[in-house]
Structure 1
Amino acid sequence: MKFFPLTVLLGLGAAGIGGWYKFIHLKPKTLRQYLEWQGFKLIKDTERNHWLSVLHENKKVAEDLNISNIDEIKWWCEVHLDSENYEDFKVSASLLCIDNPKTVKARIIQLDGNIDGLIKDGEMDEYKVSYIFKKHIAGVTETIGFLPPEQEKGQPIKEDLENAGRALSTWCKKSLDAAPNDTIVANVKLLCFSKGFGDIFGLIKLRGEESLLLTNPNNLGDLNLKYNSIKGLSSWENDPTKSGSSFMSLYAWCDETQKKKFSEEGTFSNIYPKFRFRCLKTTRFESQAVRAA
């Protein structure tokens, strides 16, 4: 017990001592008041995503209370928040009834209502695809702790997707369990969610460019024109992946190459640019500059 000098107590006077005594013995009357005095913000009944987040983050606590859905968790909080005898369940309430996500994963559920698009543990190809389409953004490689390979002039671009995918996977798993802030939440949403496609055709379909494919029966005339424009180029003549010497050899090359996966080394940097030049009908929105065939 802390003692105060007699002069201090005398200086307070009878009224002062009484006020001071009441203050130090002040206690929240209800659980609601207790939580609010702790600085917590109670979840509103209409904030569905917040309830989903709480349920996801505190599954064990909820299960111990026989709670399995958000209606039950809202009912539990409603019943107990105005209770005056709350010592036995104030800890559970501080986890289930307040807006205080402790992890990035929980915060994303608050924002989006789910984490369905999150790349699952072990889906290394998905991590590779996410990396390869985001590696050009300033700060990405540093953020995930990956050092891209040095490039040799005149040689195919090296991607090192095995190590890049592994680095991104490790970073995502660690970041999802980290304390949330706006920056890390934005980075996780940018890097750790599936792109929604895995191969070249999947991307073409996602971009709405299927009608531009030269393998489309409506574009065979354009396929022939494209073949005539590239058949004399050394890059085509020396391409070990082609076969035949007619416009159908280009058809076969495009048809086979569209199956290439972006998780395979070199597809994004070395093959996809060729595919777009060789296998897509040119539109007026595209540059007319000839890329490497």
Structure 2
Amino acid sequence: MRRYGPAVLLVLVGAAILRVSLFGELYLRYVQSGLRPYLVVSGAALVLLGTASAVMTTRVEDEHALDHEHALDHDPALDHRDRHEHGDDEGPTGHGHGPAGPRVAWFLTLPALALLLFPPPALGSYSAEREAGRRADRGVGTFPALPSGNPVDLALGEFGSRAVYDSGRSLEGRTVRLTGFVTRDDDGTWYVTRLLVSCCAADATTAKAEVRGAPAPPVDSWVTVTGTWHPEGEPGSAAAWPPVVDARSVGRVPQPDNPYEKR
């Protein structure tokens, strides 16, 4: 059975990739939507390679068994000599390597099974807190005017950029609506937060806004906050980060299919 280890591993990994990319939206927890076709092709290729490997292994074993039977027909003593000289695949310790490698290699199937059966959740408050202190120096400037009408739906990344770097203060006097998950400091300050990605979850950075005037929902719950920008500090200064929103309402919402914003 160990001969089929590599084939089983390929099929499991391929099936896990297809599960999250072809049969649902789970892949959005890990990569941008534009990468879906590449995931589907990769998963299908791995399944095909694993299947082909299993077929080839079966064929080689069948040919070997047939050759061995023919040899025994001509020399019945050969079977006794093979057993005496080679023993079984495991060797005297029971941990031999055999043609397909050590038995411990089967443990490599556990991560593949975990991905197939229990896909990891999207990044949340822990990842946001790790990155919260790192902010790029983007420079101060003026931003285009916001669309007319109140409230205006803004991505948290755009809200943060305008709040911290917009010398024209385009957020003043406007009601905004922000959606994200809840993070909280030890002192009780809480934030509506979103992770921004360029390619995949591995390059995620944080966008967040401190929420004032409303009690904090549970950490990692998804909410929509409607309110107004509360200016803090001069544009581009450390005091301007994180931006602050005075909440008029906070409502619980389900996690969106794509939990990340594009950076």
Q: Check whether TM > 0.5.
A: no
Bigger share in helix: 1
TM-score interval for Structure 1 and Structure 2 normalised by the shorter chain: under 0.3
TM-score with structure 1 setting the length: 0.25
Scaled by the length of structure 2, the TM-score of the pair is: 0.27
Bigger-Rg structure (1/2): 1
Of structures 1 and 2, the one scoring higher in RCO (CA 8 A, sep 6+) is 2
